[in-house]
Amino acid sequence: MDKIVISGGTPLHGEIKISGAKNATLPILAATLLSPEPYTLSNVPNVADIATMQKLLRAMGAQIQGQDGIYSIGIPQITSCEAPYEWVKTMRASILVLGPLLARHKEAHVSLPGGCAIGTRPINLHLAALSQMGAEITVEHGMIHATTKQLKGATIFFEPSTVTGTENLMMAATLAEGTTILKNAAQEPEITDLAQFLNQCGANIVGAGTDQITIHGVPALSGASYTIMPDRIETGTFMVAAAITQGELTLSDCRPENLTCVINTLKKMGSDITTGKKWIRIKGGPIRPFDITTLPYPEFPTDMQAQAMALMTLSSGLSKITETIFESRFNHAAELRRMGAQIYIEHNYAIVQGVKSLSGAKVLASDLRASSSLVLAGLVANGETEISRVYHLDRGYEKIEEKLSRVGANIKRVKAV
């Protein structure tokens, strides 16, 4: 298995171009199951999760061609409607094929995702909502079997709000008979991106980006050409890279308006930040302690919690994190402690006492965002940090070591022999 090796201590300077958003691309790729017509997608990030989704779609009959972030996709016929355990255990977001398959093909067999490193992550709300729309669903031997004669519009209330749940139902409802209303819908920007894509394909979706989304079903969708939104979590991660190394970075091709809470938090933690229409410039200053609570958008994202924790380890005082989305998303804390951080975990709280410096160590990545927090800590730690299990990092960050070394980081990938 590959490793990332970092010699810390260099402030980063320069410009990093932000890639397309993984969590917008995944549902949009799943949504291509909705029509037999061709699609062109641009700004598709070259990360492992996207490759996994493409493989899954190919196994269902998709013809996919392209490179450098631009792909043409066509699924003239759905040749298989099964997402077996092998795919779903590799990537939970495989569950996103359930809604579109039911809507177009009227049948889907998708492995039930289990728990993962950050929590139990049930999908009961996806299944209950699809049943409300007229799907017949059974779960046997770890497989979800869903069929329908025709999905019908319904009023669905999500509690808690769920990102992929909202996406699954929004896709399913595009081809349903009648109108579907999603209440307490997730409001993440990736939901809006999916709705824009679907509307370009001829769907009739109103209210995406608010907590109530109305979908008027249409008989059929067409293909479309669409450019995926920039990745707000990659943007936020590189903002922390500037802040933690006391460097200065300009992040281009991003959307500052999707990061208001993260920008305000980093300002309060001592960074100087200016923004333009599609760029953010951030200059790290002395790091101040701060308290954050992760909550659904537009509040502080759980996907930035681990990176914020890395920054807090070097603040001048005591910070607190309250994680309200996933019950066990603190795996990075134990690894950061091995680098000299002082972190105490109690239930869903983390108390972080800032220290003067971190020291490089051998650490293990446990999930995607945990891995990025270890990279961030490694960028500033004294000596060498060696991060194993970097396949977690590769799931969601495009060429992270290339992007960071171009702005001065001493970081390299050591290939497994």
The answer to whether 178 contacts ligand EPU (rule: CB under 6 A) is no
The answer to whether 165 contacts ligand EPU (rule: CB under 6 A) is yes
Size of site (CB under 6 A) for ligand EPU: 23
* The one among 122, 276, 285, 286 contacting ligand EPU by CB under 6 A: 122
Residue positions counted in the chain: 417
- β-pair partners for 247: none
Restricting to residues 192-221, name those near ligand EPU by CB under 6 A.
none
The Cα 155–Cα 181 span in angstroms is 5
Is 116 marked active-site? Answer: yes
DSSP 343-379: EEEETTEEEEE--S--B--EEE--SHHHHHHHHHHHH
The answer to whether 124 contacts ligand EPU (rule: CB under 6 A) is yes
> Which single residue is written with the structure tokens 């209330």?
157
The answer to whether 394 contacts ligand EPU (rule: CB under 6 A) is no
Angle at the Cα of 347 from the Cα atoms of 342 and 350, rounded to 5 degrees: 30
Angle between helices 98-105 and 22-31 (to 10 degrees): 20
Quote the least distance from Cβ 123 to ligand EPU, whole Å. Answer: 4
* The one among 23, 43, 258, 366 contacting ligand EPU by CB under 6 A: 23
* The one among 115, 160, 276, 317 contacting ligand EPU by CB under 6 A: 160
The answer to whether 121 contacts ligand EPU (rule: CB under 6 A) is yes
Kindly tell me which of 23 and 319 has the beta carbon lying closer to ligand EPU: 23
Q: Which of the ranges 81-89, 115-123, 371-379, 407-415 carries the binding residues for ligand EPU, by CB under 6 A?
A: 115-123
Tokens, residue 33: 């199951």
Please return the burial class of 327, using the count of CB atoms within 10 Å of its CB with bins 0-12, 13-18 and 19+: middle
> Which single residue is written with the structure tokens 């890639």?
19
Quote the least distance from Cβ 303 to ligand EPU, whole Å. Answer: 5
* The one among 12, 75, 93, 259 contacting ligand EPU by CB under 6 A: 93
Kindly tell me which of 194 and 361 has the beta carbon lying closer to ligand EPU: 194
Backbone angles phi, psi at 153, to 5 degrees: -55, 150
Restricting to residues 323-382, name those near ligand EPU by CB under 6 A.
325-326, 368-369
Q: Which of the ranges 61-69, 163-171, 216-224, 386-394 carries the binding residues for ligand EPU, by CB under 6 A?
A: 163-171
Tokens, residue 131: 């049943």
Quote the least distance from Cβ 367 to ligand EPU, whole Å. Answer: 7
87 Cβ contact list (under 8 Å, min separation 6): 52, 55, 56, 59, 94, 111
Collapsing DSSP states into helix, strand and coil, what is residue 223? Answer: coil
Q: Which of the ranges 7-15, 73-81, 123-131, 134-142 carries the binding residues for ligand EPU, by CB under 6 A?
A: 123-131
Q: Which of the ranges 40-48, 121-129, 222-230, 385-393 carries the binding residues for ligand EPU, by CB under 6 A?
A: 121-129
The answer to whether 162 contacts ligand EPU (rule: CB under 6 A) is yes
Which one from 81, 116, 201, 254 is the annotated catalytic residue? 116
CA dihedral 248, 251, 257, 259 (to 10 degrees): -70
The answer to whether 263 contacts ligand EPU (rule: CB under 6 A) is no
C-beta separation of 378 from 307 below 8 A: no
DSSP 45-92: ---HHHHHHHHHHHHTT-EEEEETTEEEEE-SS----EE-HHHHHH-G
Q: Which of the ranges 5-13, 160-168, 210-218, 269-277 carries the binding residues for ligand EPU, by CB under 6 A?
A: 160-168
The answer to whether 303 contacts ligand EPU (rule: CB under 6 A) is yes
The answer to whether 123 contacts ligand EPU (rule: CB under 6 A) is yes
The answer to whether 105 contacts ligand EPU (rule: CB under 6 A) is no
The answer to whether 65 contacts ligand EPU (rule: CB under 6 A) is no
The Cα 346–Cα 349 span in angstroms is 5
Angle at the Cα of 366 from the Cα atoms of 230 and 286, rounded to 5 degrees: 65
* The one among 25, 94, 164, 214 contacting ligand EPU by CB under 6 A: 164
Quote the least distance from Cβ 44 to ligand EPU, whole Å. Answer: 15
Binding site for ligand EPU (CB under 6 A): 23, 26, 93, 119, 121-126, 160, 162-165, 186, 302-303, 325-326, 368-369, 396
| Residue positions annotated with a catalytic role | 116
